[in-house]
Homo-oligomer: A and B are copies of this chain.
Amino acid sequence: MKFHYPELLHGGDYNPEQWMEQKDTIWKQDMQYAREAGINTLSIGIFSWAYLEPEDGVYDFSWMDEVMDNLAANGIKAVLATPSGARPAWMARKYPSVLRVTENRLNNVFGGRHNACYSSPDYERKVTEINTRLAERYKDHPALLMWHVSNEYNNDCHCPRCQERFRDWCRARYGTIENLNRAWWNSFWSHKYSCFEEIISPSSLGEEENVAHLLAWRRFSSDNLVRFFQTEIAPLRRITPDVPVTTNLMNTFSGLDYYALGRAMDVSSWDNYPDWRGDERDLKTARISAFHHDLMRGVGDQKPFLMMESSPSSVNWHTINPLRKPGTILYQGLQAIAHGSDSVQYFQFRAGRGGSEQYHGAVIDRTGTNRTRTFREVAEVGATLKQLKGVAGSETRNQIALLYDWHVRWAVEGAWMLHRHHERYVETVRDFHIELGRLGYGVDMVDELSDISGYKVLIAPMAYIMRPGFGEKLKAFVENGGTLITTYVSGYVNDELLTYMDADPSPINEIAGRHVDECDALDDRTFAHFVWNGKKYRVKEVAELSTLTTAQTLAVYADRFYATKPCFTVNGYGMGRCYYIAVRTDEDFLNDALRYILNEANLQPILPKLPEGTWATERYQEDGTRFVFVQNGTHEKKTVMLPKAMKDAVTGKMVYEQLEMGELSVAVLMDE
């Protein structure tokens, strides 16, 4: 099911149960302020379990009925949450199985949130019951727009039930204990198991060094949560088959395979909390946010996603929580739209007076009024989004895919290898993303299970682990004319983390026309160099030494004991090419190499010659209507040269040749 709404959404988390005794004043004012701010959607019911089910089996939906009716009466749509993100105290007391157990086998006590055991039968039953009642009650309510399932799911739990589920997961994956022993290489350190019953989760009190065991636990924990998600949404699917389902994600959160979770929901949504500082550091922040937006769109199979949360001003949980310079909130919102979001939503609509998350930013802040700068800036976002209504539902049509895979990340971060557990996978992928932006290209994020056949170029940095079928897919992609760019540490291990040997070679070897001999880890005082096209580049942190079979050398090392060995190569394979970058470098080489390769592949940027600190993205409606978004991520004014006159989609005015941009801003342009 594809989510679609004819407007861009503008709204946020709304917790009116905090003001139950002031319905006449606060609740009324809320609706008035929402209209003033151009808000057309509010997310409700997140963390409301204690109000919906004040005691076990006793339900009270009356207040929520009132809220839903208020929303409907004010033309506001409800993103209705299932309340499983936080359990009431009575539940922890009555059903202790809902509480997690830590890796060192200590039992949690009541408190916090996001900390349920996803294997607890009690929890599953209580969630199913309340979700069923919610769906039954509001299935026909005019305000209901979509389901917001739980909140910022995370894991994991080491209770006896989770242990048993882990063993079941192992049984299902491996069939026999011999297969598991072989896959986990348990022949070393006497770790061979006699039977599945001997298997337990990793622990600082036991096993934490077998990489395969650790990866299996991460995979199980992720799978167990996706399974729980399926269970949680079952009543929603049954009762409201036409209402889309989402759960809000947290960009690169490592605990869950978001692609797997994304494949189980209808629309991807996520919570965006950049650490704006109001100075030149914001460019890096903006670029990271851009990467996150693209990743969250990729998790949702490139469909429009939702920025489900963001702060309309500061947050209260960063190490330091500065105010936002005027204009930052508008930029933050339009940046999301530029990267494919159909919404700008906030945590939160009205600030509470105390408790957890006190001082977190809110549209209506702790003054309780609309007299604030924050409120005015939010209202400006609302007005702007109304002008951009035509963007709603439009999609990207990028020709470049960039691989970011949770299993790769788990494997690389778990590896005892070059920089033991600190191989910088996320940063490496992000660096490629940033350079693509600087060159003016749009990009889609994919994982190893994604369909990549439609792209012209696939960039697969540090593609360490070969998940099932990925090697074959890569071969087919390049054979059919695709351009593959890959790097050091790619294809080192199979899906079980077993290293490829000469006698059982990595699929990457054939495609890239070379194989790895050794890989050097350089410390922060040590560098190598190479020259390419007359320019000298620095090698840092990683330097692979390879033997070429069919590949051609593009550049060789200039120094250290591996001088003259190739460090940048290309291999013709079928109708395509594979470029192999054997070194970690500074951004100058990434930029030069990508410009060269993409040019070789005949890909044109969205806008050429963008000034430093700006980048462009596109969205297309099915009818071909194109929106070009130009972002200025700096605190300086920028002039962007356009190849032709275009129309400003917000103001409706024409822009000729020179697009003048203010600091931290987004221009939305249309073909005339």
Contacts and interface: CB of A to CB of B under 8 A. Distances in A.
Contacts of A1: none
Nearest to A279: B526
A18 B206 CA distance: 22
A496 interface: yes
A47 B419 CA distance: 26
Contacts of A20: 187
A318 B321 CA distance: 33
Nearest to A194: B90
Interface stretch (A32-40, A136-144, A362-370, A388-396): A362-370
A619 to B, nearest CB: 32
A356 B502 contact: no
Nearest to A102: B205
Contact of A417 (B49, B321, B323, B523): B321
Interface string A309-333: 0000110111111110110000000
Residue of A194, A373, A415 with most partner-chain B CB within 10 A = A194
A190 to B, nearest CB: 4
B523 A188 contact: no
Interface in A171-203: 183-194, 197-198, 200, 202-203
User: Interface size for chain A: under 10, 10 to 19, 20 to 34, or 35 or more residues?
Assistant: 35 or more
B356 A209 contact: yes
Copies in the complex: 3
A190 B49 contact: yes
A354 B211 contact: yes
Contacts of A190: 47-51, 83, 86-88, 113
A366 B501 contact: yes
B355 A185 contact: yes
A397 interface: no
A75 interface: no
Contacts of A662: none
A449 interface: no
A93 B198 contact: yes
A534 interface: no
Given A50-B190, A355-B186, A322 B88 contact: no
Contacts of A277: 523, 526
A5 interface: no
A567 interface: no
Given A355-B185, A420-B317, A420-B319, A191 B18 contact: no
Contacts of A371: 502
A207 B111 contact: yes
B368 A502 contact: yes
B198 A47 contact: no
A325 B352 CA distance: 55
A89 B198 CA distance: 6
Nearest to A201: B109
Interface in A405-428: 415-420
A416 B358 contact: yes
Nearest to A315: B416
A318 B420 contact: yes
Residue of A188, A356, A368 with most partner-chain B CB within 10 A = A188
A194 B191 CA distance: 45
A640 interface: no
Interface string A77-95: 0000001001111100100
A623 interface: no
A194 B111 CA distance: 14
Contact of A415 (B55, B191, B359, B502): B359
A192 B317 contact: no
A212 interface: yes
Interface in A107-142: 107-113
Given A317-B416, A321-B420, A355-B210, A191 B89 contact: yes
A357 interface: yes
Given A86-B191, A278-B526, A354-B211, A206 B521 contact: no
Contacts of A202: 111
A212 B357 CA distance: 11
A24 to B, nearest CB: 13
B188 A15 contact: yes
Contacts of A417: 316, 321, 358-359
Contacts of A86: 189-191
Contact of A561 (B321, B325, B355): B325
A499 interface: yes
A461 B609 CA distance: 54
B496 A354 contact: yes
B194 A358 contact: no
Interface string A134-169: 000000000000000000000000000000000000
Nearest to A108: B205
Nearest to A321: B521
A518 interface: yes
Interface in A330-379: 351-360, 366-369, 371-374
A313 B110 CA distance: 49
Contacts of A187: 15, 17-18, 20, 51, 352, 355
A645 B374 CA distance: 63
18 contacts: A47-B188, A47-B190, A55-B194, A88-B190, A89-B198, A93-B198, A104-B106, A109-B200, A111-B206, A185-B352, A319-B419, A354-B499, A357-B416, A359-B417, A359-B499, A366-B500, A367-B501, A374-B518
Given A211-B355, A357-B416, 10 more contacts: A20-B187, A50-B190, A93-B197, A111-B207, A112-B207, A185-B352, A187-B352, A278-B526, A319-B419, A323-B521
Interface of A: 15, 17-18, 20, 47-51, 54-55, 83, 86-90, 93, 102, 104-113, 183-194, 197-198, 200, 202-203, 205-212, 277-279, 313-314, 316-323, 325-326, 351-360, 366-369, 371-374, 415-420, 493, 496-503, 517-523, 525-526, 545, 560-561
Question: What 3 pairs between A and B have smallest CB-CB spacing?
Answer: A111-B207, A111-B206, A185-B355
